[in-house]
Amino acid sequence: MARSAPLSSEKRYAVGLMSGTSVDGIDAALVEIAGEPGSPREVRLIAFENTAFPADVRKEIFELFDPAKATLDRVGRMNVALGELYAAAALSVIAEAGVAPGEIAFIGSHGQTIYHAPEHRYTVQIGEGAVIAARTRIPCVSDFRPADIAVGGQGAPLVPFTEYLLYRETERTLLLQNIGGIGNVTVIPDGCSPDQVYAFDTGPGNMLIDGVVSRLTGGSQTMDTGGAMARKGMVDAELLRELQREEYYALQAPKTTGRERFGAAYVEELLRLGEERGLSAEDLVTTVTMLTAWSIGDAYDRFIRDRHPADLMLVGGGGSYNPVLMQFLKQEMEGKGVPVKTQEEAGGNSDAKEAVAFALLADCTMAGIPGNLPAATGASRPVVLGKISW
Ligand SMILES: Nc1ncnc2c1ncn2[C@@H]1O[C@H](COP(=O)(O)OP(=O)(O)OP(=O)(O)O)[C@@H](O)[C@H]1O
Ligand SMILES: CC(=O)N[C@H]1[C@@H]2OC[C@@H](O2)[C@@H](O)[C@@H]1O[C@H](C)C(=O)O
């Protein structure tokens, strides 16, 4: 992820923390940044750690996705408990890097999304920044999304600004496809300026695969590791066609989504449809794996292809570790003339990418520089994101 020029004396260390919609744990990245906030010359990943959530914490977070169960008391307690876990993750990656905590300029912490409702002008990320700052004694930027929503945006996706900084090319148009819980794409046209970058959520990432596997295994498995189940099943073409009718895919961008649409209730409906059609567990997993790959190709056809025929799709996020999903995606995209590579195949680090992004966004915040891309979020203007706990 290095850009060309050498490091200078203005270099600073920062920690980025991310826990995404899959709720698999906390990603912590320690980076060294050189150059101007918002246009750094170089960003170096010094250390990275992923810490799984304790099982009881993960279970409780899933309970909080249901607004009927997310009482003030439960949300309040989890806000503080996550602040403690994020602080521990930050201190751990700092120790791993062998850097003194006093040398870290700031932490950027995304928090845990428990509800995302931009249509009602709110989104909720918890994990108290004041706790992170108090435990680490490092200033912490948190709660990045509301500032964008306050000026009419979706509050997401926010990573595209950092993708522009780190990946832009003069000759090739790139699609950066993240397959986390949700799938999201960023389009970086060749030789573009930041205001020409656009992005949106393509639909489910691993959320449906994880949900179906978890329900079918009584919770003993939380993902289709290595695509083991999908590899054994067959796509049910009729069910696939029915699922493709979900209205989200045709909605115009800017658009974002989450568990409110593709969460527990949707998974229950999938199980019902699978049972009605007499599908095996494997057939259902293969069908939703295909649906996920299809939704990414469909988004390209509907919203990107005519404006920006792409030279390469770079895939990151945990979905890139599912070989069946990757095989389906390659078939989809290569049929449209777009080669597909994983971040790792291109020399990147797929796991660290979003945590690095929140360190870079916090760098902007600390300098009072906007971090949103209105073309990605739909905001009326660029704004400074986040809240600082000193
Ligand atoms: N070895 C693997 N085989 C299959 N799937 C995997 C593997 N490793 C990770 N995954 C999938 O990736 C998911 C985690 O992806 P990731 O950490 O990118 O999501 P996230 O950051 O929580 O989500 P988002 O980007 O939507 O916020 C897991 O829940 C699982 O579905
Ligand atoms: C509200 C929320 O947490 N959105 C996430 C989620 O996970 C993927 C996709 O949906 C993306 O829109 C966003 O995250 C990334 C980090 C972003 O803001 O760019």
Domain range annotation of the chain = 11-161+351-389, 163-346
- Annotated binding residue 257: no
* Structure tokens belonging to residue 77: 């307690």
The confidence band for 17, taking pLDDT boundaries of 50, 70 and 90, is: very high
When pLDDT is averaged across residues 182-192 and rounded to a whole number, the result is 97
Task: Determine the pLDDT at residue 100.
Answer: 96
Distance from Cα 63 to the centre of ligand 1, integer Å: 19
Distance from Cα 83 to the centre of ligand 1, integer Å: 22
CB–CB of 365/147 below 8 Å?
Answer: no
Task: Determine the pLDDT at residue 349.
Answer: 85
Distance from Cα 130 to the centre of ligand 2, integer Å: 23
Task: Determine the pLDDT at residue 10.
Answer: 86
Choice from 22, 163, 178 to test ligand 1 binding pocket (greatest atom count within 8 A of CB) = 22
User: What's the rounded Cα separation, in Å, for the pair 356 and 62?
Assistant: 25
Angle, CA of 111, 259 and 269, to the nearest 5°: 160
Cα 239 to Cα 105, 204, 231, 298, distances in angstroms: 52, 16, 18, 17
The helix (run of H) or strand (run of E) holding residue 242 is: helix 237-243
User: What's the rounded Cα separation, in Å, for the pair 291 and 283?
Assistant: 12
pTM to 2 decimal places: 0.94
- Annotated binding residue 289: no
Task: Determine the pLDDT at residue 336.
Answer: 98
11-161+351-389 and 163-346, same CATH topology: yes
Nearest to 200 by CA among 326, 332, 337, 298: 298
Q: Indicate the SS3 state at residue 337.
A: coil
Ligand 2, atom 11: closest residue by C-alpha: 157
Amino acid letter at 254?
P
When pLDDT is averaged across residues 286-290 and rounded to a whole number, the result is 98
Fold of the domain spanning 163-346: Nucleotidyltransferase; domain 5 (3.30.420)
CATH C-level class of 11-161+351-389:
alpha beta
When pLDDT is averaged across residues 329-334 and rounded to a whole number, the result is 98
Task: Determine the pLDDT at residue 6.
Answer: 39
Q: Which ligand is nearest to the CA of 117?
A: 2
Question: Does pLDDT of 3 surpass 80?
Answer: no
Distance from Cα 112 to the centre of ligand 1, integer Å: 15
Cα 164 to Cα 160, 318, 376, distances in angstroms: 6, 21, 11
**Beta carbon of 178 within 6 Å of any ligand 1 atom:** yes
When pLDDT is averaged across residues 332-354 and rounded to a whole number, the result is 94
The answer to whether the bond into 157 is cis (omega within 30° of 0) is yes
The answer to whether the bond into 382 is cis (omega within 30° of 0) is no
Summarised one tens digit per residue, pLDDT across range 212-221 is 999 999 999 9
Question: Does pLDDT of 76 surpass 50?
Answer: yes
Task: Determine the pLDDT at residue 138.
Answer: 98
CB–CB of 333/297 below 8 Å?
Answer: yes
Sign, CA dihedral 178-179-184-188, equals: positive
* Structure tokens belonging to residue 60: 């409780």
Cα 372 to Cα 174, 183, 201, 326, distances in angstroms: 19, 19, 15, 30
Name the percent of the chain lying above pLDDT 70: 98
State yes or no: ipTM above 0.85: yes
- Annotated binding residue 23: yes
The answer to which of 6-20, 85-99, 333-347 has the lowest mean pLDDT is 6-20
Phi, psi of 154 (to 5 degrees): -85, -10
**Beta carbon of 180 within 6 Å of any ligand 1 atom:** yes
Q: Ligand 2: residues within 6 Å at CB?
A: 20-21, 113, 116, 123, 156-159, 180-182, 184, 201, 256, 258, 354
**Beta carbon of 317 within 6 Å of any ligand 1 atom:** yes
